[in-house]
Structure 1
Amino acid sequence: MAYSGNSGEKLSETSRRHVLSVAYWRFFVNALLVLCDMAAFIIASAIVYVVRNTGDLYSTRFHFHIALWAYMLVGSLIWIYCLHSVGVYHRHVMGDGYQLNAFLIKGALFAGLMVCALNSILNVYVPLVTTGLALLCALLVTIVERFIIRQCVLFSREKGAYSYGTVVVGSLEGIEHALQFLSRKSQLNYHAIAVCPIGLDAQTGYVKAVDVTAEFKQRIREICGRDIATLPYCKNFAERAASMGVQTVMVTDVMHRFSDNFNTFVLDVEAMNLEVALITSAVDVSGHETNIRVIQGSTVMTISLPQYSPWAMFKKRVFDIVVSLMALVGTAIITIPVAIAIKVTDRGPIFYTQTRVGRRGKPFKMIKFRSMVVNADKMKSELAEQTGQKGRFIFKMKNDPRVTTVGRFIRKFSIDEFPQFLNVLRGDMSVVGPRPPLPEEVAQYNQTYATRMLVKPGITGPWQVSGRSNLSEEESEALDVTYVQNWSMLGDVVLLFRTVGAVVTHKGAY
């Protein structure tokens, strides 16, 4: 189908209006965030300066007085610049939670360096403790402020505001999976307004349109709670998508990366100023560092994960040792009474050791406070069959009859995990990492999920802080595999803080 001149002009005008509409609300939201972040810094630093009796400052190098309000205003500009430098204002981050907090921490550290540099250049005396407290308070106030704004943005996104109109392209199964994913991830700014079912022609290998069925439409209605338009795959797909108000084309499957089908499709879509989003495997290499070289007309691309360098692994080991020693000493006031209570209640052993599988398949004995009856392992197979969990990687059940009275308490607050810091000191485990699996679980791993064995298991990790027993098997697997690809020291610190929240709220703990 070819467009006439008038149709082309209408299409161009429609596309232009959608682009301007998105640019308007993005500018509005970012301007609001900038002003709120500046206000958060000024309020927090003002409180610190008042408490510590900090008055107007004097530059001994340039011989002029600096009003405290002017100093705080300059500090707020530095604060905004540093947050921008680490990506806090990126359009795909503004609705995030913990990822945003990690960026805020990085920005605060960067701002601390710049404020100290400013003080050194002006030769202004501000105690380092005062500067540190001001930045720490600014960070905490900004986190709270961003949380409030994020809730408002997420509430508006449920109505389609502050989001990008999206068409989901793929097989019928792939589209359903993508819509389920989007319905669970409220922090994502994709609002599905159309679907485009496709398949591969068996003879030519080219992409072709696929007819939708009544059953498919019904499933979409159940997933999204509303009807979604169908956009047939055709030569003028990009133009028709733009005319519908689409800003993002999400490709789920069928068209695989680096194929001619995918490359030509993406070129056509991007030429209409539309964004392409991909739902890829958890082990996709897109997050790796890449280096491209052209040698005598041949292109060679090398990829690497910098967090697996010897220096990075050394830092993680030092981090594990320091945190474990601090945890063992700091929790002694809790662990000693717990040990006595376990022994007194049923005269059984205080500790429970179980064979788990560590990095690259190496078995080890994991130590925990005993929270179950002595013959709990013998009862597991029978209970798994009764609850329909036979063969599942992670066996969990509410009101487990094997759990003792003391065990129920220490599990609720994850106290039973504390002795695992001894495993960390021995090098069997890490403080942060995937859940330590049983040998029978490892035997059932598929090729993708087996990649979780490339790192040491952890006392806490993405599974423990994201819902634990409330997660589906698929969600648990994806979290572990993604951690292997993306772990970092800062990310581990964030997971530790999230662990505190998970323990306090008891989310998924049973």
Structure 2
Amino acid sequence: MQQFTNAASRHAASQTRPRATSQGGLRAGWWYVRAAVCTDFVGVALTATATFAAIGEAHPVRQALMITVLWVLLGFVAGQYTPWTWDEGAPVGPLVREWLVLLGVLAALHAVSGLGSAPAASLAALGPSLVVTVVCRKAIRRRLLAVRRRARALLRVLVIGESASVDAVVGQLAERTDHGYVVVGACVVGEGDVLSGAPVRCRLPVDESAGPQEDARAVGEVTEALRADLVFVAAGRHMSGDRLRWLSWALHDKGRPLMVLPGVVEVAQRRVRLTSAAGLTLLHISSPTRRGLPMILKAATDQAGALLLLVALAPLFLLLGLAVRMSSPGPVIYRQTRVGRHNIAFPMWKFRTMVVDADRMKDELATANEQDGHMFKLRRDPRVTRVGRLLRRYSLDELPQLANVLLGHMSLVGPRPPLPEEVARYDQVEMRRLSVKPGLTGLWQVSGRSDLSWHETVSLDLRYVDNWSWAWDLTVMGRTVRAVLDGRGAY
């Protein structure tokens, strides 16, 4: 019910936006795309000019202008400035690939025609330019998320489908605020009740007795009346084939985009590829990465990162160990059995943050548990020592798990390592969290930690399990620093 309340709140907030035509409103909502183009042009031009001038390259302004124009054009060709890219989080990986392509293009131009600077000079200019681009994209993305949380910069969406499908779409959109859509109405196929709170603006017959043209006319009228920017169609047995084809014709003739929802959730865009056969549109979804070069790269990053951090943080380990030892009687390191990949148990190490008999006191506190699902959490746990509260707030108690990463029990990034008693109560969906190694950090930590519900924790972990990439791991590690310093949800 909470997710439907959230959806209704965003719907109400969207009504405060100024009246505008559909397409005008659609373009007005894409300010972040224009901002990305402008910041790329200005940032790359200034950075490249300064670099060329510093290394004594001839005609630095002209050289920088050529690089800037090629970079922006390459971004348009690769789709970096489409609004849909920003719903995927404006990832860094594609930017790096395009940066490498641009280096190759500049090297080829210089070799074939003598245009442009030498490859070494181009590399010197493009290195800082890439950093500026990434920083600007992240800043725009943070601004966009802040605006969307206030129910602004949203596209007005009409949802078409059976009642259960409409509820599923509205509920999924209401769970998060990092997308750019707000549901303003629904056209329901059949007579089923809509429980999500989305206003039903028309009903379409199940048997297509009125014909697909009449369906398209009714939907077109509702779209105009609601000033909807685009239409979501939840495909099903009553909304496919010729019926969907006629609907797409009617909407496209009026300049309205159409999006068909295949019913697949939590699949990253990079895993999806469209193809066709015999007039059928096929959606190919690649398997989650479980082997090959990405896994080798992840393992190498884990081993090298854990070793370097253990050496660099050795003085901090000593200080924290002394603080724990002096704060309360008992061992410095707490050893606890956790469950890892493929349901294999392993000993996980942490700095002790509780009194020695904490495990035996857990049953007495079971009725005070503040977490739903299978986890046990208390915001004011009486077993936690004074030093332990400080360690937990900044996740310093987790540092000994670097040894678990070095030994191969864990990864630097992954799902939260569960307790055996938690795993004993897992269903088949939750067991999928054990398909990869647990992590020292992960989406659960950078998204709220203990403030998350069990459902939210599982959703984040499954999103990572199915869609992880090496570049995403680096992003999560970068976000971890900010989450640790912030300290929210850590207790």
Equivalent position to 1:409, from 390, 407, 426: 390
For 1:477, the equivalent position in structure 2 comes to: 458
Provide the rounded CA distance (Å) in 2 between the counterparts of 1:454 and 1:301.
Answer: 24
1:333 maps to amino acid: P
Equivalent position to 2:305, from 297, 319, 323: 323
Q: 1:443 to 1:182 in 2, by over 3 A?
A: same
Provide the rounded CA distance (Å) in 2 between the counterparts of 1:69 and 1:30.
Answer: 26
For 1:166, the equivalent position in structure 2 comes to: 157
Q: 1:102 to 1:412 in 2, by over 3 A?
A: farther
Please tell me whether the aligned partners of residues 306 and 312 of structure 1 are also in contact (alpha carbons under 8 angstroms). Answer: no
In structure 1, the gaps of 5 or more residues are 1-16, 58-66, 199-206, 221-227
Please tell me whether the aligned partners of residues 107 and 119 of structure 2 are also in contact (alpha carbons under 8 angstroms). Answer: no
Q: Which moved more, 1:139-148 or 1:167-176?
A: 167-176
Aligned-residue Cα RMSD (Å) equals 3.8
Instruction: Output aligned runs, 1:44-443, within 5 Å.
Output: 44-49=47-52, 53-57=54-58, 67-84=59-76, 86-94=78-86, 97=89, 99-115=90-106, 122=114, 128=120, 134-150=125-141, 153=144, 162-169=153-160, 175=166, 178-179=169-170, 181-183=172-174, 185-196=176-187, 198=188, 207-211=189-193, 220=197, 229-234=199-204, 235-236=215-216, 237-244=218-225, 245-250=227-232, 256=236, 259=237, 261-262=239-240, 266-271=244-249, 272-273=251-252, 274-276=257-259, 278=261, 280=263, 282=265, 288=271, 304-305=286-287, 307-389=289-371, 392-443=373-424
How far is 1:314 from its partner? Answer: 2.2
How far is 1:250 from its partner? Answer: 3.6
How far is 1:139 from its partner? Answer: 3.6
Q: Which moved more, 1:243-252 or 1:329-338?
A: 243-252
Give the count of matched residue pairs. Answer: 454
How far is 1:507 from its partner? Answer: 2.8
Provide the rounded CA distance (Å) in 2 between the counterparts of 1:158 and 1:502.
Answer: 19
Provide the rounded CA distance (Å) in 2 between the counterparts of 1:397 and 1:368.
Answer: 18
For 1:489, the equivalent position in structure 2 comes to: 470
Q: Which moved more, 1:436-445 or 1:269-278?
A: 269-278
Please tell me whether the aligned partners of residues 38 and 76 of structure 1 are also in contact (alpha carbons under 8 angstroms). Answer: yes
2:83 counterpart SS class: coil
Give the TM-score taking structure 1 as reference length. 0.76
Q: 1:192 to 1:416 in 2, by over 3 A?
A: same
Provide the rounded CA distance (Å) in 2 between the counterparts of 1:133 and 1:376.
Answer: 56
1:193 maps to amino acid: V
How far is 1:269 from its partner? Answer: 3.6
Q: 1:405 to 1:105 in 2, by over 3 A?
A: farther
Provide the rounded CA distance (Å) in 2 between the counterparts of 1:156 and 1:282.
Answer: 24
1:376 maps to amino acid: A
Please tell me whether the aligned partners of residues 323 and 387 of structure 2 are also in contact (alpha carbons under 8 angstroms). Answer: yes
Deviations 1:460-510 (A, max 9, x none): 111111111121221111111111111111111111111111112123222
How far is 1:109 from its partner? Answer: 4.7
How far is 1:183 from its partner? Answer: 4.6
1:71 maps to amino acid: Q
How far is 1:190 from its partner? Answer: 1.0
2:335 counterpart SS class: strand
Please tell me whether the aligned partners of residues 191 and 203 of structure 2 are also in contact (alpha carbons under 8 angstroms). Answer: yes
How far is 1:177 from its partner? Answer: 6.0
Provide the rounded CA distance (Å) in 2 between the counterparts of 1:493 and 1:119.
Answer: 34
Instruction: Output aligned runs, 1:445-484, within 5 Å.
Output: 445-484=426-465
How far is 1:395 from its partner? Answer: 2.3
Q: 1:491 to 1:371 in 2, by over 3 A?
A: same
1:68 maps to amino acid: P
Please tell me whether the aligned partners of residues 370 and 376 of structure 2 are also in contact (alpha carbons under 8 angstroms). Answer: no
2:136 counterpart SS class: helix
Deviations 1:86-109 (A, max 9, x none): 542121233664x44454454445
Q: 1:468 to 1:169 in 2, by over 3 A?
A: farther
Provide the rounded CA distance (Å) in 1 between the counterparts of 2:294 and 2:73.
Answer: 28
Provide the rounded CA distance (Å) in 2 between the counterparts of 1:260 and 1:287.
Answer: 29
Give the TM-score taking structure 2 as reference length. 0.79
Q: 1:388 to 1:112 in 2, by over 3 A?
A: same
1:21 aligns with 2:24: yes
2:294 maps to amino acid: A
Provide the rounded CA distance (Å) in 1 between the counterparts of 2:96 and 2:148.
Answer: 26
1:356 counterpart SS class: strand
Identity of aligned residues (%): 31
Provide the rounded CA distance (Å) in 1 between the counterparts of 2:119 and 2:281.
Answer: 54
1:233 counterpart SS class: strand
